[in-house]
Amino acid sequence: MNERKLPRREREKIRQRQDMLAAALALFSEKGYHNVSMQEIAEKAEFAVGTLYKFFKSKEDLYKALISEQADRFHAALSEALTAEGGPVERLRGYVRAKGKIYMDNAACIRLYFAEHRGASFNIKAGLDSEIRERCELALRRLEAVFAEGMASGLFRKTAEPYHLALALDSLCNAFLFHWLEERHSYPESPDIILNIFFHGLMESDRGENFFAPATESETP
């Protein structure tokens, strides 16, 4: 819904809620989830603690809202890339670009989630794990549909199940992004760097064909 069409009071509530979430993210990132109180969050956001509790019933509720909204933005960006106009290859390029951009634009929240995930309470993890897995699966299914379309049109060879290809490409992107989060390696500026690894592999064509050829009876142990 377009916020401009909402009544002024509703727009103000949305702004206040976002200010509270931004303050919580800053404090959680600096001190860790378990070392921050609702009072500190309220003070940083410049609200009375009672006002904060009107929006979030507890710190767990606030944390879950913060991570869930981030997951929603992830899902929306990836879905937009995978359903955009253009052929399968261009949509795969869009997916690789979108995934990199949203990680980089929201690195603080992503680092927070990975840092706190193991230490979060069972109730937090149970709810978030289920929600995030559901969103990830939806993105994988859309990615699967792109590979299936490419196979149906004859653009891609049927070397594996479309879902397995979706999982493989997503995992390859994640590997680059986790290294980027740890400041060990940059995420490729061009999506074709990842796609070329994925589509062409490492071996020269003639060597690759020989290497993966079925074994003859004399070669079989």
CA 145 – CA 162 distance, rounded (Å) = 7
Domain 57-203 sits in CATH at: 1.10.357.10
For CATH 1.10.10.60, the residue range(s) in the chain are: 1-56
- What are the residue ranges of helices labelled H in the chain? 8-31, 38-45, 49-55, 59-82, 88-105, 107-116, 122-152, 162-181, 191-200, 205-211
Q: What mean pLDDT is reported for the chain?
A: 84
Question: In this prediction, what percent of the chain has a pLDDT beyond 90?
Answer: 56
Pick the CATH number of 1-56 from 1.10.10.60, 3.40.50.1970, 2.170.150.20, 3.40.50.1980: 1.10.10.60
pLDDT at position 211 over 60: no
pTM exceeds 0.75 for this model = yes
CA 82 – CA 67 distance, rounded (Å) = 23
Give residue-wise pLDDT tens across range 107-120: 888 888 887 765 54
CA 83 – CA 76 distance, rounded (Å) = 11
CB proximity list for 65: less than 8 A, separation 6 or greater = 21, 56
Mean pLDDT of 191-198: 89
pLDDT class of 217 with cuts at 50, 70, 90: very low
| Tokens, residue 154 | 């004859």
